[in-house]
Amino acid sequence: MLFQVIRKEIKVLFASYIGWGILAMFALVMGVLYTQSLSEYMQVMLGHVPTVEQIGLTKYIGANMFSAASLLMLMFIPLLSMRLLAEEQKNLTMAFMLSAPISLAEIVLGKFLSLLSFLMLMLAYLVLIICILNLWTDIDFGYIFANVLGLVLLIASFSAISLFISSLTRQPILAATLSFLVLILFLFVDQLFEQQTNTIWASLSMMQRYKSFAVGLLNTADIAFYVLVSGAFIFFTIRKLEHQRVYG
Amino acid sequence: MVNNITVEVKTVSRVYQARKVVNALSLKLEQGKTLGLLGANGAGKTTTMKMMAGHLMPTAGAIHICGIDITQNPTEAKALIGYLPEHRPLYKELTVDEYLEIAARFHKLSSHRIKQSIAYVKECCGLTDVGKRVIEQLSNGYQQRVGIAQAIIHAPMVVILDEPTVGLDPIQIRQVRSLMREIAQDASVIFSTHLLPEVEMICDDVHILDQGHTVYQADIRTLQHHMQTRSLVAAFKRPTNLQALYQLPNVLGMHHQNEHTVVIQYQHASPAEALVTMAVQQDWGLYLLNEQQSTLEDVFIQLAQPS
């Protein structure tokens, strides 16, 4: 049944303009950044622009594109997740799924995975245009793998948090705005408490965790952090819907 | 399934924000029967139906669908139910076929059965020609039919329809009522309404709710017996003799609605013909004679009065 929920969500997403619109915007921004980074790299290689250190093509282009992708996700995920629960509750279409023999856990997991699948499409496009460079030069696949894994874990956490916020209100715009603010808080929480020596804020910051992936490092503590955050917020969302069934 | 009972509601209550929306409600429905849940707005009809459909948990009591407790085993029980809420849960950006296919897949129909079921419900609900159209572009009546089609696509044992005729024009109401009669041939149907004539036309059993309480529960014949007292509204140009009107057959009582208009309560057969004859003989100038339909309010008043 999980697959059927994912299928339905993807179908509804592509039946509206929002799915296509977000894909087009992502492709456009990434395309512009890609060509720009490539031409900048050529300038560096030709010695027109002096550099402090020698840097590989994968790292040069990858660093720009992966960090831009993570920021784009920060905007896209609240927009996509607001539809998943807040809009369904506002339009009273949630009853369609609640009437079917599907458990609440399957509904929430299905919605989460459908969002993740859609975002994976964008990620696949990003990886494809970077890997295409392998036709002309050697690409550091290890670096790309670490970045992709980091980005997947980051967007999974973003999606789970946004999905939970989407379950809290029937107002899609409010859900998207709240999600955006909460995600920013999670990303940069360490910078808010920069003066304090307490490392707890740094360990909660998603950006700090993402930085190790961005330089090509795989740290199991960081992986566990993202998995735990995603799992916890999916669990909270299921509990919220159960609470609604009992008391709502 | 025991004794062909498809729905059994046992002293179910639902508390919402410290207010009892449904209070110790009990009912039973047999296979192939139609139950009308009747009540004014806020009587607790929608909450009761949401509990039967498994959307809300009862605060107390139990609901069994074909012997399965919907609170304990919601997924098993929901597989036997088709539900259309008051607000149609339609994804309006999809076509009718796409929407029905999703509904069929959610109810675990095999790929082979999906096509057959979609074709069948489209034929039943008169949607054959609009399968490829986007739901948003359909009229209100057609959208309601799509809503009903998704509720019956898996041939459920119990079909729950919340105010299925609200907002439809008279022709669409007639079509939806006839569709409900067809559905009731195979499944048990529960529907809510605040229109008494609708209940008389379709139901086998009636359950009247008021502020979450059951005020009346019987089969339709018993209700019709309660509704035997009806009224005639007559307007005269010249003053009338009320005492003379009491001579008319079957008259129980009367009162002046205004200076010219009299409301005459009667039982069994209408005294309209005798009234016209009398008005002509006495030269009262009868210019209006109208049979008044019993309203839900009348029935409530009737039921509240000891016989």
**Which chain B residues are Cβ-neighbours of A245 within 8 angstroms?**
55-57
Q: Under an 8 A CB cutoff, do B108 and A101 touch?
A: yes
Mean pLDDT of all residues in chain B?
87
Task: With a cut of 90, say whether residue B106 has pLDDT above it.
Answer: yes
| Residue in A with minimal Cα distance to B147 | A96
Dist. CA B191–CA B110, nearest whole Å:
29
Task: With a cut of 90, say whether residue A212 has pLDDT above it.
Answer: no
Confidence (pLDDT) at B42: 83
Q: Which of A170-174, A182-186, B229-233, B243-247 has the highest mean pLDDT?
A: A170-174
The tens digit of pLDDT for each residue in A72-118 reads: 999 999 999 999 999 999 999 999 999 999 999 999 999 999 999 99
pLDDT above 70 coverage of chain B, percent: 93
- Structure tokens given for A216: 């090509």
User: Which string of b and e fits B57-91 if b means at least 16 CB within 10 Å?
Assistant: bbbebebbbbebebbeebbebbbbbbbbbbebbbb
Mean pLDDT value across residues A145-173 = 94
Task: With a cut of 90, say whether residue A45 has pLDDT above it.
Answer: no
Tokens 């992936």 — which residue? Answer: A213
- In this complex, is the C-beta atom of A35 within 8 Å of any C-beta atom belonging to chain B? no
Task: With a cut of 80, say whether residue B247 has pLDDT above it.
Answer: yes
Task: With a cut of 80, say whether residue A70 has pLDDT above it.
Answer: yes
Dist. CA A41–CA A198, nearest whole Å:
39
Confidence (pLDDT) at B307: 43
Task: With a cut of 60, say whether residue B105 has pLDDT above it.
Answer: yes
Confidence (pLDDT) at B197: 77
Of A95, A101, A247, the CB nearest to B89: A95
The tens digit of pLDDT for each residue in B8-43 reads: 999 999 998 888 899 999 999 988 899 999 888 888
pLDDT tier for residue B54 given thresholds of 50, 70 and 90: very high
Q: What is the pairing mode between strands B213-219 and B34-39?
A: unpaired
Check residue B40 and give left, alpha or beta (phi > 0: left; psi -120 to 50: alpha).
beta
**Which chain A residues are Cβ-neighbours of B78 within 8 angstroms?**
99-101
Q: Under an 8 A CB cutoff, do B94 and A11 touch?
A: yes
Of A11, A245, A248, the CB nearest to B102: A11
Q: Under an 8 A CB cutoff, do A99 and B82 touch?
A: yes
User: Hey, which bits of chain B come out as E strands?
Assistant: 5-16, 19-30, 34-39, 60-65, 68-69, 81-84, 158-162, 188-193, 205-210, 213-219, 230-236, 251-256, 261-266, 286-292
pLDDT tier for residue B91 given thresholds of 50, 70 and 90: very high
Taking each helix axis from N to C end, the angle separating A104-131 and A2-15, rounded to the nearest 10 degrees, works out to 60
Q: Under an 8 A CB cutoff, do B106 and A7 touch?
A: no
Q: Under an 8 A CB cutoff, do A100 and B103 touch?
A: yes
Q: What is the pairing mode between strands B158-162 and B188-193?
A: parallel
Task: With a cut of 90, say whether residue B94 has pLDDT above it.
Answer: yes
Instruction: Answer whether A166's CB lies under 8 Å from A175's CB.
Output: yes
**What is the enclosing helix (H) or strand (E) of A101?**
none
Dist. CA B255–CA A13, nearest whole Å:
63
- In this complex, is the C-beta atom of A3 within 8 Å of any C-beta atom belonging to chain B? no
Backbone phi and psi for residue B219, each to the nearest 5 degrees, phi listed first: -85, 170
Q: Under an 8 A CB cutoff, do B108 and A1 touch?
A: yes
Of B16, B91, B107, the CB nearest to A101: B107
Q: Under an 8 A CB cutoff, do B108 and A94 touch?
A: no
Q: Is A34 helix (H, G, I), strand (E, B) or coil?
A: helix
**Which chain A residues are Cβ-neighbours of B107 within 8 angstroms?**
100-101
| Residue in B with minimal Cα distance to A245 | B56
Dist. CA B71–CA B7, nearest whole Å:
14
Comparing B195 with A159, the larger pLDDT belongs to A159
- Structure tokens given for B67: 């012997």
Separation in Å, CA of A164 to nearest CA in chain B: 20
Contacts of B133 by beta carbon, 8 Å cutoff, 6+ apart: B95, B96
Q: Which of B101-115, B262-276, B292-306 has the highest mean pLDDT?
A: B101-115
> Among A47-61, A172-186, B140-154, B243-257, which stretch is predicted with the lowest mean pLDDT?
A47-61
Dist. CA B67–CA B8, nearest whole Å:
8
- Structure tokens given for A15: 């039946």
| Residue in A with minimal Cα distance to B99 | A8
**Which chain A residues are Cβ-neighbours of B85 within 8 angstroms?**
92, 95
Chains A, B: CB contacts within 8 A come to 74
Q: Under an 8 A CB cutoff, do B78 and A16 touch?
A: no
Instruction: Answer whether B296's CB lies under 8 Å from B40's CB.
Output: yes
Task: With a cut of 50, say whether residue B265 has pLDDT above it.
Answer: yes
Q: Under an 8 A CB cutoff, do A11 and B74 touch?
A: no
Mean pLDDT value across residues A240-246 = 91
Sign of the Cα torsion B247, B249, B251, B252 reads positive
Mean pLDDT of all residues in chain A?
88
pLDDT above 90 coverage of chain A, percent: 60
Comparing A49 with A154, the larger pLDDT belongs to A154
Percent helix / strand / coil, chain A, rounded to 5: 85, 0, 15
Distances (CA, A) of A45 to A49, A59, A60, A130, A217: 8, 14, 11, 18, 26
ipTM of the complex: 0.86
The tens digit of pLDDT for each residue in B155-174 reads: 999 999 999 888 788 888 88
* CA nearest to B90, candidates B154, B43, B133: B133
pLDDT tier for residue B227 given thresholds of 50, 70 and 90: low
Residues B105/B107/B111/B114 CA torsion (nearest 10 deg): -90
Instruction: Answer whether A77's CB lies under 8 Å from A178's CB.
Output: no
Q: Which amino acid is at B303?
A: L
Query: Chain A 98-117, CB below 8 Å of chain B: which residues?
Result: 98-103
Q: Under an 8 A CB cutoff, do A7 and B105 touch?
A: yes
Confidence (pLDDT) at B293: 65
**Which chain B residues are Cβ-neighbours of A247 within 8 angstroms?**
16
Contacts of B295 by beta carbon, 8 Å cutoff, 6+ apart: B196
Of A1, A93, A103, the CB nearest to B89: A93
Separation in Å, CA of B75 to nearest CA in chain A: 4
Mean pLDDT value across residues A183-188 = 86
Q: Which amino acid is at B164?
A: P
Q: ∠ CA(B156), CA(B162), CA(B166), 5° rounding?
A: 130
pLDDT tier for residue B294 given thresholds of 50, 70 and 90: low
Q: ∠ CA(A166), CA(A241), CA(A81), 5° rounding?
A: 20
Mean pLDDT value across residues A164-173 = 95
Dist. CA B22–CA B40, nearest whole Å:
14
| Residue in B with minimal Cα distance to A97 | B106
Mean pLDDT value across residues A119-130 = 93
Of A12, A92, A94, the CB nearest to B94: A12
Mean pLDDT value across residues A133-137 = 83
* CA nearest to A104, candidates A240, A247, A205: A240
* CA nearest to B6, candidates B223, B156, B155, B201: B156
Dist. CA A93–CA A12, nearest whole Å:
12
- Structure tokens given for A148: 């992709």
